[in-house]
Structure 1
Amino acid sequence: MANEQMGLLMFLALLSRNVVSNTSLHHRQMTLFAPTNEAFQRYNGEMDDNLVLYHISNLATSLTNLDYAISSELDGNPPLWVTRRRDIMHDDIYVNNARVLASRSYQAFNKNNNRQVLHVIDQVLQPLQPHGPGSLSSPVYSPNAYQFLEHSDLFNIGPHRLRSFRQKVSQLHKKDVFNADGKHTFFIPVDEGFKPTTRSDLIDAKVVDGHVIPHHVLFTQATPDTREFETFAFGDNVKVVISFSTAMNGKEEITYVKSNTVAGDAKHSRGVVLADIVRANIPVKNGVVHLIQRPLMVVDTSIIDFLKEKEDGPLCKFYEVIMDLGNNNQFLNDLTLAKDMTLFAPSNEAWDEPSVQNIVRNHQKLKEILNLHLVRERLAMDTIIHNNMNQIYQAPTALARKYLYFNVLTHNNNQTLTVEGGGVNATVTLPNIAATNGFVHIIDRVLGVPYTTIFEKLKTDPMLNITYNLGNREMFNQQLNDMEHRYTYFVPRDHAWQKFQIRHPSAFKALFKIDFGYYTKQILERHVIRAGRAYTISDLKLHANETHPFVMPTSRDPLRLRVKESDKNYYVEWNGHWIHVFRPDVECTNGIIHVIDEPFLLESDVRATGAAPRLVRAPAILLVSLAFLRIVE
């Protein structure tokens, strides 16, 4: 116990200076929530002798018996809120925003045989207290959310003022929402968030309801990121949910709150509104209050205004990159003038990658990369998912002849959207940020700056599973990790192999026979050019037009191709047959992939080996083969 006391010396010093707590230690049962020394070193709030009373309850309560709230000994007996967080990464108990270090809990009895319990916590509990001369004569102890809002000028909440929102709550007769007994979470925008002044006109009763989560007390550390909670504005027509998200800005972690209007009406636009939490975790009698930088649900800024709204916002580095292009910035003009668009915006962390930093210095390349992130139409996430149901959805970007390709991953009823552009596959980490002229989706990588070899790309791209599995035979794929050469690989996508299976079922089945690996390798070799450089589709078109084929050496035999462009699509001609290039110029660190809609393969390639099996028409063979290969891989 001596070591335990050493780690709690600052709390013990505070405890010994307070007369009330000393008396309780000797004569009453009690529970103490003791912050560690490190917690006090991080604490930047007011420190007085009464602070310790907010860390004490007059009941001895073990962790097992902690209810959702427990009264403290501070004047007015404000509650301490208890959260049990159980998810994949956590099985923890929190008191307000402090995590209980469960292994360090301790029980004892004082000289009067009263049981006393000690729980060690990782943060100092910070109560809401009045400040200033005026508050001493008429203090408001343990206020509920409305009392806090009404008398906010009496409390120590830093420079923030809440008069604008308070006025709207009064005008719209929504006092009862903030006065409600129980346990709730309240988001209150500060006065600075009401600029421009016209923003206030957009706040109606439904918007006020959208700032309150009923029946949940949500402190930031105790609440999982991205978990959505229904607000009071979740009804038959309008449905609004709220969640937290965190992001790193340098070494600083910033917490945001986002309202998502999943169903709207004429007055309330669908989509996400993101706001900084400028002061978090203010405990009140009926829950917790978070002060936020701007009102939720209100969509009144353009995409460019959202990017530049805050110097340390979630996309501040993206905005800096755009502005570094200087004068005659066409990309900035497009963001400013376009009426309907969708921006896939890389997060601040995405710009820290070394490979990305090198590209930023090349302004010509940077212009191309930025255009790859812009689609000139409104694409909400549910629109993309709907368009992706029956086929791979592709959207044209502001970069000529370049498309974005989408994939939807489903896990435990949760859907994650990925987007590929220029060979880079990125995850949408924060979708559907609504603006007056479109949507912003925050992604975790910069598109168009390759970071994987061809081997790694094949292994992770859900559209290229079959070619990857075929290439695992005879060690064919291993060469595609080589950084000394540059590869141009014409990769049939899964859909191409499915079409081949339907036309030539026996030949397709032969490709997966154990004793056919050598011939499978020969077939794949026909698709790969290894040279001192990689060939983009434009390079190939320059050398191989519709009349003169371009002959390129492969490990098997020369590959003779012609290239044509039609209706903004590319086609390659092989063996007298024109094949659509579904995704040209998928850049990798050691070459380029061109995803094609048919393999360079004839049924005779399989029959010539004498290894073709009898004809089997089994529609499920593809899925069975893939499942087997994934299991044994």
Structure 2
Amino acid sequence: MMLKPVLVLLFVCVVVSNAGNVLQLLKNRATHSQFAELLESTEGVHKHYMEGYLTLFAPSNTALNQYKGDRNKALLLNHIASAFPHSNLQTVNTAISEDELEERLTSLLQGHPPLWVRRKNSELYVNQAKVSLVLPVTTDTGNKQFLYLIDSVLEPLIPQAENSVADYVDIKAGDILNNTQKYKLGEYSIDKYTEQIRSLGMDKFPEFEQYGKYTFFLPVDSAFQGLDKGLVDQEVVKSHIVPGNLLFTQPSSRQGQYSELFPSLQYKQVSMEVKVGVSMYESDDGSIKVQSQTMTGNRNHPRGQVISTIVKVFILIKIFIFC
């Protein structure tokens, strides 16, 4: 059972080597010029890497126009990647070609959050963004660079106090639930959900404090309108956690097409009589929906489906915020 309304959760063409650097390439591409302007106009350490070995993911103008978050040095550093693991993540001494991409990269933002790489149906994705073009570059000094053009902004999770280095490191879902005011969640609040989890006992959900592959669906406050919070019990909270899988908004099946069903944490509790799985799809209006399906229920958790809309995505382990 999943709360209804609100979550705060290739054909890649490779061309021959170019001369110059990635910034010059971007400035010459009308579809990605805004990101080039942002790289030039924003002061920060990212400028140090423009002539060195570099892997850069550049969102399109369309993606930036749709993006409502801060446009600052933190955003830019989250689009510069390093191999994982790396002996010194503050020093970019390699450029990562498409053939060298592994499942996980790390960005150069403080705390080095992950960038997850996937291939599906011959298409390449980084986090939720689809890669449309890969451009290799060799600078005048002989440094290799790779520019990946993408269709979505790689939004980082940023502490409210951006100078607090410790708050960037090893962020887990539990860190957000324990102090929702510490992080920038945009216009959304998840206070009511976190209050209910605390009343049930955070210790009953150790997954919030663990590292690994998890997808967490966190309902925003408006999801509780007209709802008795007492209905959100342990089984409901566990049905909002998908262990062992990182679910992304892209690619998603279209509405009416088959969408893979993933077992929730609640489903994997073999001693429980309730079984809940979740799936995601793109609706006819272009929004991404998450559908929970109670396949085996009881009096308090009847069989059926609940459909919610994903409104925000953060990549730590994986967090969706929905309504």
| TM-score after normalising by structure 2 | 0.77
Q: Which of 231, 244, 253 is equivalent to 1:215?
A: 244
Q: Give 1:206's aligned amino acid.
A: E
Q: What is the CA deviation profile of residues 74-116 of structure 1, one whole-angstrom value per residue up to 9, with x for unaligned ones?
A: 1221111223223xxxx32211221101xx2122333554322
CA distance in 1, matches of 2:64, 2:164: 30
Q: Give 2:29's aligned amino acid.
A: M
CA distance in 1, matches of 2:244, 2:73: 33
Q: What is the CA deviation profile of residues 194-237 of structure 1, one whole-angstrom value per residue up to 9, with x for unaligned ones?
A: 23352x21222222111011122112123335221111111333
1:163-178 correspondence runs (5 A):
163-170=191-198, 171-172=200-201, 173-178=203-208
Matched, 1:70 2:94: no
Over the matched positions of the two proteins, sequence identity in percent amounts to 30
CA distance in 1, matches of 2:306, 2:43: 45
Q: Could you say which residue in structure 2 is the equivalent of 1:141?
A: 168
- The 1:201/1:218 distance shift into structure 2, 3 A limit, reads same
Q: Could you say which residue in structure 2 is the equivalent of 1:283?
A: 315
Q: Which of 112, 120, 125 is equivalent to 1:94?
A: 125
- The 1:108/1:222 distance shift into structure 2, 3 A limit, reads same
Matched, 1:108 2:113: no
Q: Could you say which residue in structure 2 is the equivalent of 1:180?
A: 210
CA distance in 2, matches of 1:38, 1:215: 33
The question of whether the paired residues in 2 share the 8 Å contact of 1:259 and 1:274 is answered with yes
Q: Which of 132, 156, 167 is equivalent to 2:184?
A: 156
Matched, 1:14 2:38: yes
The question of whether the paired residues in 2 share the 8 Å contact of 1:108 and 1:117 is answered with yes
Q: Give 2:119's aligned amino acid.
A: R
CA distance in 2, matches of 1:18, 1:50: 11
The question of whether the paired residues in 1 share the 8 Å contact of 2:252 and 2:281 is answered with no
- The 1:43/1:110 distance shift into structure 2, 3 A limit, reads same
Matched, 1:292 2:322: yes
| SS in structure 1 at match of 2:174 | helix
Q: Give 1:196's aligned amino acid.
A: G
Q: Give 1:13's aligned amino acid.
A: E
CA distance in 1, matches of 2:45, 2:172: 25
CA distance in 1, matches of 2:61, 2:187: 28
CA distance in 2, matches of 1:222, 1:9: 25
| SS in structure 1 at match of 2:192 | helix
Q: Could you say which residue in structure 2 is the equivalent of 1:44?
A: 68
1:412-491 correspondence runs (5 A):
none
- The 1:100/1:137 distance shift into structure 2, 3 A limit, reads closer
Q: Give 1:223's aligned amino acid.
A: S
CA distance in 2, matches of 1:201, 1:19: 48
Which structure has the higher relative contact order (CA within 8 Å, separation 6+)?
A: 2
- Deviation, 1:158, is 2.9
- The 1:105/1:197 distance shift into structure 2, 3 A limit, reads closer
- Deviation, 1:18, is 4.0
Q: Which ranges in structure 2 are unaligned for 5 or more consecutive residues?
A: 1-17, 19-23, 84-94
CA distance in 2, matches of 1:140, 1:238: 37
CA distance in 1, matches of 2:282, 2:204: 30
- Deviation, 1:174, is 3.3
The structure in which a higher percent of residues are helix is: 1
CA distance in 2, matches of 1:238, 1:175: 17
Q: Give 2:45's aligned amino acid.
A: V
- Deviation, 1:261, is 0.9
Q: Which ranges in structure 1 are unaligned for 5 or more consecutive residues?
A: 294-633
Matched, 1:263 2:296: yes
Q: Give 2:238's aligned amino acid.
A: D
| SS in structure 2 at match of 1:253 | coil
- The 1:53/1:137 distance shift into structure 2, 3 A limit, reads closer
| SS in structure 1 at match of 2:265 | strand
| TM-score after normalising by structure 1 | 0.41
| SS in structure 2 at match of 1:153 | helix
Q: Which of 74, 78, 82 is equivalent to 1:54?
A: 78
CA distance in 2, matches of 1:14, 1:256: 32
Q: Could you say which residue in structure 2 is the equivalent of 1:228?
A: 261
CA distance in 2, matches of 1:64, 1:255: 30
| SS in structure 2 at match of 1:21 | helix
